[in-house]
Structure 1
Amino acid sequence: MTITVAELMTRGVHVMAPDDSLDLAARLMDDLNVGAMPVCQEERLLGIVTDRDIVVRGIARNRPVDRTPVSDVMSQPVRFCFDDQPVNEVLPEMRQAQIRRLPVLDRRRRLVGMLTLADLATKADPQAAAAVLAAVSEPAEPDRPALPQRRVA
């Protein structure tokens, strides 16, 4: 029997609007105990904002967290899967792209949930989740030249 994404995904996902501030996103992530939130305009997925986006593209660049919209730092284009896809089709993409969380859309391209490593580990095959986690945990190629390293005495 083929397991579909819909059978494993987390439903009732909270979303951010593109003009919501970084500090609101950070507070919601803390309240909800999540590391990423989809950014939507109405039901259309525009991107995803992660705790790392807030730190690296927001705080580290001295952007005012109370006035910077999540759309300025969100990751896009966002990878996603469909709710009727077999999970065994989605896992290789999560491994290859080093993704821990994947927005799930229906065939009308409306956000209907999120598929996470936790979903895979608790509701499906723990070995499959371990394989994705191992791939996600491998160092990725930097997307820009490295800064000089600082040494601590």
Structure 2
Amino acid sequence: MKIREIMTKQVETVSPDTPLKEAARMMRDADIGFLPVGENDRLVGTLTDRDIAVRAVADGKDPNSARVRDAMSPGTAFVFEDQDSSEAATIMSEKQIRRLPVMNRDKRLVGVVAVGDLATRTTDDDVVGQTVEDLSQPGRSKR
């Protein structure tokens, strides 16, 4: 199954210069825990609710003045919309991440695919099971 068939197409993005408090509100209002970070029409990283908690708040940064760039993961992994869902599962397993930005071949953001999308929208139980198992290993970072 192709990524374009299972991805979420409505994607919120955030600028690296956005205050963390505003990014957190965006996540709350959209009921999401992941935002692709874009600058100059290019994907430059990702921000998760966990990034805000661990890289900013836990380190004493003020969410009113700290910026997305202070907590984001730069240089993110991604998948192309015409790739197979098993390729997304492999990337997620290798990188220990739960969500991947989806790009078209012009490297423009067109969606997001999450491990939950793989679990509920594909029929390859072996790939899904292995991916979930790989992501569930204790002590590994999960985005």
Give the CA RMSD over aligned residues.
1.6
Structure-1 residue corresponding to 2:16 = 18
Distance of 2:10 and 2:88 partners within structure 1 = 20
The yes-or-no answer on 1:32 pairing with 2:27 is no
Q: Deviations over 1:36-95 (max 9, x none)?
A: 110011431010001111011111111110111101110022010111111122211211
Distance of 2:108 and 2:62 partners within structure 1 = 31
The yes-or-no answer on 1:130 pairing with 2:132 is no
Alignment of 1:3-152 (within 5 A): 3-125=1-123, 127=125, 128-140=127-139
Q: Structure 1 residue 141: deviation in Å?
A: 5.3
Letter in structure 1 aligned against 2:131: V
Letter in structure 1 aligned against 2:107: R
Larger radius of gyration: 1
The answer to whether the Cα contact below 8 Å between 1:4 and 1:86 also exists between their aligned partners in 2 is yes
Letter in structure 2 aligned against 1:114: V
Gaps of 5+ in 2: none
The answer to whether the Cα contact below 8 Å between 1:39 and 1:48 also exists between their aligned partners in 2 is yes
Distance of 1:81 and 1:75 partners within structure 2 = 16
Letter in structure 1 aligned against 2:111: G
The answer to whether the Cα contact below 8 Å between 1:43 and 1:111 also exists between their aligned partners in 2 is no
The answer to whether the Cα contact below 8 Å between 1:98 and 1:132 also exists between their aligned partners in 2 is no
**Other structure's SS at 2:110 match:** strand
Structure-2 residue corresponding to 1:148 = none
Gaps of 5+ in 1: 143-153
Report % sequence identity: 39
4+ runs of 1 displaced by more than 3 Å? Answer: none
Aligned residues: 140
Structure-2 residue corresponding to 1:151 = none
Compared with structure 1, are the counterparts of its residues 17 and 32 closer, same or farther at alpha carbon in structure 2 (3 Å cutoff)? same
**Other structure's SS at 1:102 match:** strand
